[in-house]
Structure 1
């Protein structure tokens, strides 16, 4: 049996962080943990595509992966929970890159609602195929009540005529799937349920297509992400499909708590005042400010860190070549960790 593709993903992530974070930062990344640290790491280390792409993994399963990579001498232990790739590991990652070009479509952080998009779409395909045949009795492929309720409202609105729904859906899906190099549309189509046709589960689809299960998982996810990307970029060409995600996608993927802090910041309250109002620690509010700097390109960080200090922190980042805050603080001791995090959030991804 081939090595699970998720092992390759973990190696890629370890290569990116290069010993500057613990291995569990990768576990949190794959699970899509919505903490300021995980979100910041996703951007600082250019790992946003892998965010929330394998949320079914357990901590023990992840530990097993690390142990097996170590036993294979692809990684080596540096300090507590910190590992780096060996030379063999680096060669392995470089060699594997050319074998999986479909990863260029993966965009986990941007499309965190991909699973919900799939649930809606797969149910709509099933419903449309039965409407064409004037059949209303069938077992919904999606048992989620919220998804079922959403679809009922979607159809009742009457924006798309029932008799033309199936045709429009087929045309838009066909167009959307065309020209996806490095991805086989069968990855997606084989999962669809229609009239007198039951779509395959993820495991069944992987078996039929003769793909290792986690490789199939990532290909399917990458295809969904690219579909959503195409719908957003050409929404006028996909009125039906775009209407399915128009309420899901938010360019600024802020956590709910950060949104509340942002509202108060916009009213002129200070970090300390917001902490008192919301009964949260100042550090928590600072985490929200860092998240805002990451997500909002027009968010001004100068009220929280002076311009001359920003320059010094950027110089320290370039000098150390590291993304570890303590290394930068050694060079700019007068800067707080909050100020360094804020500057790194805004400028840390620059080459």
Structure 2
């Protein structure tokens, strides 16, 4: 599956970014370039999918893709062949859950949420039958402390808690594929069963281990998205507070902007170049879709950038500016690109 993931990213890059840019996305590198590429090239589903991947792994996979005639490699840049495009289409068709992933948005929530939920289910199902002694599914102290607090705070009784957990899991999993639901349930521990590992589930389902891991992550991200439109009150108690991923220096700029300072005033006050402050604005817009950019770029300009990017089939800033004209600064173009995914079906995209 790693090869297919790499091929997907290289296909989106269209030879405009190096193969190492693909590596940084798969690793979940917290650099401005990796974050920007993930957004601009609509690659958020691939962010942090293989954090342990190395340069050696990447170069080996790249050479295999070259050998299979799936890509043409020119130094560090790759473009897909017709054969590569066919493989890409086949992968997308066979793995529809990929579109539900958002590795950046849910980067630090996914693992902790799952630990909380699985331990809560294990604890509640044991306590309800008076079996307080069991080996917890996680030794994470903060998660154990959180679950103990939830059990103590539960005022409706364990019967109600277990019933609601079952009811809501059943309702949610009915919206997922059979494989997703199976992988979800098989990992749960209770007095009746010991949860299986991803490796064990992969063997049972006759799937690649990475495939199962990615599929399960997509299931959780689907659940997180469902919290916004569905009432899963019991499942939602395991939610982890969203954290900001923007840098401390960008946050300082954001605070000054909230206080009414202009970009020029922020730069003067912080003794930073205007270009640095502009970098902060782009960073804030990338990390937070609700961050208002209307003071710096109009909705009409955003649509103009998107139109030219589609017509020229490129996201290279230099080429976009040449096509748009000198009145479009690199700052405006970069900001506009942070909102390109909100254009379809959105009436207000500058927020």
TM-score of the superposed pair, with normalisation by structure 1: 0.84
Note if 1:16 corresponds to 2:7: no
Contact 2:110–2:221, Cα closer than 8 Å, also in 1: yes
Deviations 1:241-281 (Å, cap 9, x if unpaired)? 11211x4347xx65253444322211123445545666766
5+ long unaligned stretches in structure 2: 345-351
Structure 2 contact 71–78 (Cα < 8 Å) conserved: yes
Distance 1:338 1:159, change over 3 A: farther
What residue number does 1:267 align with? 259
CA distances 1:202-222 after superposition (whole Å, capped 9, x unpaired): 112111221111111221112
Shift of 1:290: 0.9
Choose the corresponding residue for 1:243, options 227, 237, 245: 237
Aligned pairs for 1:106-117 (under 5 A) are 106-112=101-107, 113-117=109-113
**CA distance, structure 2, for counterparts of residue 166 and residue 181 of structure 1:** 24
What secondary structure sits across from 1:232 in the alignment? coil
Report the counterpart of residue 165 of structure 2 in structure 1: 169
Alpha carbons 2:69, 2:84 under 8 Å: kept: yes
**Structure 2 CA distance for partners of 1:53 and 1:124, relative to 1, 3 Å:** same
Q: 2:193 aligned with 1:200, yes or no? A: no
Corresponding residue number in structure 2 for 1:188 = 184
Shift in Å, 1:91: 1.6
Q: Does 1:95 align with 2:90?
A: yes
Using the alignment, how far apart are the partners of 1:282 and 1:198 within structure 2?
57
| Structure 2 counterpart SS, 1:185 | helix
What is the deviation of 1:314?
Answer: 5.7
Q: Is the 8 A contact 1:53 1:221 kept in 2?
A: no
Aligned residues: 340
Flag the 1:234–1:347 CA change in 2: closer, same or farther, 3 A.
closer
2:293 equivalent among 300, 303, 323: 300
Aligned residue for 1:98, secondary structure, equals helix
**CA 160–71 in structure 1, closer or farther in 2 if over 3 Å, else same:** farther
Task: Work out the CA distance in 2 between the residues paired with 1:271 and 1:141.
Answer: 50
Q: TM-score, normalised by structure 2?
A: 0.84
State whether residues 101 and 221 of structure 2, in contact with CA within 8 Å, keep that contact through their aligned partners in structure 1: yes
* Residues 82-91 or 128-137, more deviating: 128-137
Q: Are the structure 2 counterparts of residues 106 and 308 from structure 1 closer, same or farther at C-alpha, using a change threshold of 3 Å?
A: closer
Q: Indicate how the Cα distance of structure 1 residues 334 and 179 shifts in structure 2: closer, same or farther if over 3 A, else same.
A: closer
Residue 330 (structure 1) aligned to one of 319, 322, 334: 322
| Equivalent residues of 2:115, 2:143 under 8 A apart | yes
Name the residue aligned to 1:286.
278
Q: Which runs of 5+ in 1 are unaligned?
A: none
Q: Is the 8 A contact 1:301 1:342 kept in 2?
A: no
Matches within 5 A, 1:301-316: 301-302=294-295, 304=296, 316=308
1:148-177: per-residue Cα shift (whole Å, max 9, x none)?
222222222235523432222222211221
Deviations 1:266-304 (A, max 9, x none): 1123445545666766554323211333433461343x4
Change (3 A) 1:300 1:126: same
Give the number of the structure with larger relative contact order, counting CA–CA contacts within 8 Å between residues 6 or more apart.
Answer: 1
Q: Secondary structure at the match of 1:233?
A: coil
Root-mean-square deviation (CA, aligned residues, Å) is 2.9
1:67 maps to 63
